[in-house]
Structure 1
């Protein structure tokens, strides 16, 4: 029996993946370094698990510091060689080709994201389509990297001379990129596309839990025609490969998405070599529902703000402020919507709610739920693990929470909603409660009153606020956090700026 036959015999939630997916899973996956797929220096490997079943579905090479050294050296050679002299038009053509290849292999990516991460089918399809759009967006941006002209220093002109002063935008150099496990393909493309548009060379470390779609993306990068060494993919654990990448003296910039705790460690280490850092970190996003809100819209909208991707997303709206006049009515709508969500394997397109990423993460989320119960929060839905294979925790809702409770203050990264009420206090008083958090990544306001909506949005200290919806992100909309939610903005023009330096040139004529 072949490895592919063995995989095919596994249940996959009762659904059979496509032959191309089974063949991919059966492949012995390595590291992409300088255009060659290779084993790690020590021969170590990591097993990948389907979180909806708990079964091992693939094995990938696990790199360490020596593999990072090889990858960084390859990226440096590429950056200082022909790649560093490419035009924006050339980079644009390569990115356009890559977008076309992702679209061609959309079905494979669709199943890999489900099997590796556990996400529902509808979300996986959206992620794959979004990856194509994101690469296309930065393919266009590569042609629009421009400098400016400005007035020359007065002291040069004052002595009878003439001068020309202009600026150019140049690639930062060799970039280390570390991505999380919650939306693997999206995160890989969000990091790679602007870096490649700018002309950087990259060492990319996927999350050890979800490397599969990034590995196939690496193959498509080669097929698109990017030169060897421009993109290197080194799987590995954070404490080995990730730490080595951050500490490497020949890396010019680190781009990281993940927890605030790890972000702090990266900042401390990066300070020793003064490399540039951009960080998209944790969140505990507020959702403010005013008494005039459309409850038919807000009920499912607020529910999905929390339970989208099982709450495993940094912009999840998990702190719900609802006016006391509509509290009971809104909670009933949220409870009805969340309680009706069909739970199961993402390969079943009728399922809307998947597992958490791992057994360890499920245990952490369940511990937070028990702490909330013990602290006096009122449980109105969920709150216990599901008795089935995989790492499932159902949608969980707490009311009567207090500002001092961990369930209210700390990021859980799971399907746990906390609700508080507010009265007729003015917007400034309400905003003080809303902003009483170390995080400031996202948020939303729900009301029919246009003035209230914009006045409240202006008072929320977050990098991204939506009105009568939540988490409205797109390729052209900058996204990032205030406070402990990170440094810098991704997506949009601002995402490209993260990978560019500005040089001023003055010539006395």
Structure 2
């Protein structure tokens, strides 16, 4: 049914969602405590697949354990199958025409409403699910499940409005030139990670916002929070079939990329998995209707370099947060720490270890705990394995180095001092609360920059600490390709939507910059339209006249 276009609408101004403090006695602390208590009294929850708006129970039941208490689980979920993926794709393609032809202002309104639901009505519920299921403390859940999720939706609407306004600057006499930004032909496969609920919402949300239909496979370790995000989008008005929610494993992804209608992969996860999927997609090119758009943000081996002119106290505290927030389970987390000898020996080392010693590790339900558990058994074994290998290679554990998996997957914040800048923990991605420090001579600053650039396959984030402007500029130029997000005198984590577009290149992904207008170009296919108002009277050119 055609809809009248009787005005050019302008969206309301958008800004970053204010973050609440959760101070003792505050209403937000009381609200969150109530949500946590209610959720714990009702678990485990049951999560079905959602296909065409209908719940589908496959009876292939999997569990999402709580990493702070792994004998208990937050939810069970019905794992999808290749046959269900085929049904989901067919249903999404049936929903596609109505969704892409929906007036832009109506699509925008749906996502603006979803942002308000996430930051208002469901704020504490989303946070509770993220804390219990993904092991985040209150502040990390706040900046993720409440603030960043809302920011992705609100700023996404703003960026798409800006995108649609980009039109040809010139028109010949008697003509009108226009550009429309079509959704991709086919469907988008969204594969989201465990570590950010907001990314769970953004990976299907960004392509859907510009009119695409999406098959969404959430990470098993984030199933329940992602299910809540899906329910919020449905309540906000995303029609049935536009986003198909299918929990499960690798077979979901493999089934989706076999479809001739596969048009794009929107992925956040490990570098090895992303590379493998890229190869699989390449081998299927002859069966696809279009060349698929591959968009991915993967791993990092992120660094701080501390110049001799750095302000020590700030560098210390920023390096504590950068390494140990959310147990180091951020793609951007600090893992490599390069410190000039004069700074290391004149306060940095002592202060760094003193501050880390203050970190309390334990369940997210205890407000005193700064760090919680790592996400699961595989992560625990991988991280402790890295620590063991570092010791075998001669690395000196300055603090931490131990773990306790008896009830939850807890690892103490760990600092390893190495004399080998290419040791195992300086090269491999650990994805846990482990930072390796390398002390360089003050006179070797530029040699150290070259070392930083060549040690790792990754290029996600990095930070330079210096009070001398030339030191900042030298590092920026020498490390131009070593990080997609670089920070001056600020930790290498914490990119904010609308402020620091996020993404890296090299082994860290396609650098399409989530949280900016850039990401939306990947999910549209532009079409140029030229309309002629004045017909020809003769086919000859003036130059043909004699």
Q: TM-score, normalised by structure 1?
A: 0.90
Judged with a 3 Å threshold, the aligned counterparts in structure 2 of structure 1 residues 264 and 313 are, in CA distance, closer, same or farther, namely: same
Which of residues 407, 421, 431 in structure 2 aligns to 1:413?
Answer: 431
Q: Report the equivalent of 1:443.
A: 462
1:59-74 alignment, distance < 5 Å: 59-74=76-91
Structure 2 residue matching 1:326: 3-state secondary structure: helix
Structure 2: distance between partners of 1:507 and 1:96: 34
Structure 2: 5+ residue runs without aligned partners? 1-32, 286-290, 535-546
1:171 to 183, 188, 192: 183
Whole-angstrom distance in 1 between the partners of 2:390 and 2:515: 35
Superposed CA offset, 1:262-283 (max 9, x none): 0101111222233110010111
- Give the superposition deviation at 1:20: 4.2
CA deviations over 1:461-508 (Å, ceiling 9, x no partner):
211001111224111132111211111221111122222222233456
Match of 1:402 in 2: 420
Note if contact 1:150-1:166 (Cα within 8 Å) is conserved in structure 2. Answer: no
2:107 equivalent in structure 1: 91
Residue matched to 1:359: 377
1:12-31: CA deviations, max 9, x gaps? xxx98645424763442201
Measure how far apart 1:287 and its partner are. Answer: 0.7
Q: Residue by residue, what CA displacement relative to the aligned partner does 1:169-220 show, whole Å, maximum 9, x if unpaired?
A: 222242110011112x111122233222211111111101220111111111
Q: Which residue, out of 480, 495, 499, partners 1:473?
A: 495
* Aligned with residue 126 of structure 2, among 109, 114, 120: 109
User: Per-residue CA shift, 1:316-363, capped at 9, x if unaligned?
Assistant: 111111101111321222211122111111122221101111112101
2:160–2:517 Cα contact (<8 Å) kept:
no
- Which string of whole-angstrom CA distances, capped at 9 and with x for unpartnered residues, describes residues 399-455 of structure 1? 124133111101011111111122244764332111112100010011122332243
Q: Which residue of 2 aligns with 1:11?
A: none
1:452 pairs with 2:471: yes
Partner of 2:15: none
| 1:287 to 2:282 alignment | no
| Superposition TM-score, scaled by structure 2 size | 0.84
Q: CA RMSD in A?
A: 2.1
CA contact (8 A) 1:141 1:197 kept: no
Count the aligned residue pairs: 483
2:415–2:435 Cα contact (<8 Å) kept: yes
Counterpart in 1 of 2:508?
485
Q: Indicate the residue corresponding to 1:499 in structure 2.
A: 523
Which one of the candidate residues 243, 257, 281 is aligned to 1:246?
257
Corresponding residue of 1:208 = 220
1:147–1:166 contact (8 Å) kept in structure 2: no
> Relative to structure 2, which stretch is displaced further, 324-333 or 424-433?
424-433
CA distance in 2 between partners of 1:164 and 1:29 (Å): 51
Moved more, 168-177 or 87-96: 168-177
Residues 1:24 and 1:99: Cα distance change in structure 2 (over 3 Å): farther
Partner secondary structure for residue 380 of structure 2: helix
State the match for 1:6 in structure 2.
none
In 2, the alpha carbon distance for the partners of 1:294 and 1:201 equals 50
Q: Does the alignment pair 1:233 with 2:257?
A: no
Match of 2:115, SS state, is: helix
d(CA) in 2 for partners of 1:281, 1:327? 32
User: Are residue 314 (structure 1) and residue 331 (structure 2) matched?
Assistant: yes
Q: 1:345-384, aligned counterparts within 5 Å?
A: 345-384=363-402
Aligned to 2:9: none
Contact 2:396-2:416 at 8 Å conserved across structures: yes
- Give the Cα–Cα distance (whole angstroms) in 1 for the partners of residues 443 and 87 of structure 2: 59
Q: Could you tell me how far apart the structure 2 residues matched to 1:244 and 1:337 are?
A: 48
- C-alpha deviation, 1:90, in angstroms: 1.1
> Aligned residue for 1:141?
159
Q: Distance in 1 between matches of 2:205 and 2:367?
A: 29
The answer as to whether partners of 2:35 and 2:125 remain within 8 angstroms in 1 is: no
Please list every run of at least 4 consecutive aligned residues from structure 1 whose deviation after the TM superposition is greater than 6 angstroms.
none
Asked whether the equivalents of residues 287 and 317 of structure 1 are also in contact (C-alpha less than 8 Å), the reply is yes
Is 1:148–1:167's contact at 8 Å kept on the other side of the alignment?
A: yes
| Equivalent residues of 2:67, 2:373 under 8 A apart | yes
Separation (CA, whole Å) in 1 of partners of 2:474 and 2:87: 52
- Aligned partners of 2:80 and 2:303: how far apart in 1? 39
Gaps in structure 1 of 5+ consecutive residues: 1-14
State the SS of the aligned residue for 2:403.
coil
Question: What does 1:190-209 correspond to in 2, within 5 Å?
Answer: 190-209=202-221
Q: Single out whichever of 489-498 and 111-120 deviates more from structure 2.
A: 489-498
1:323 matched residue in structure 2? 340
The match for 2:139 is 122
- Report the more deviating stretch, 257-266 or 294-303: 294-303
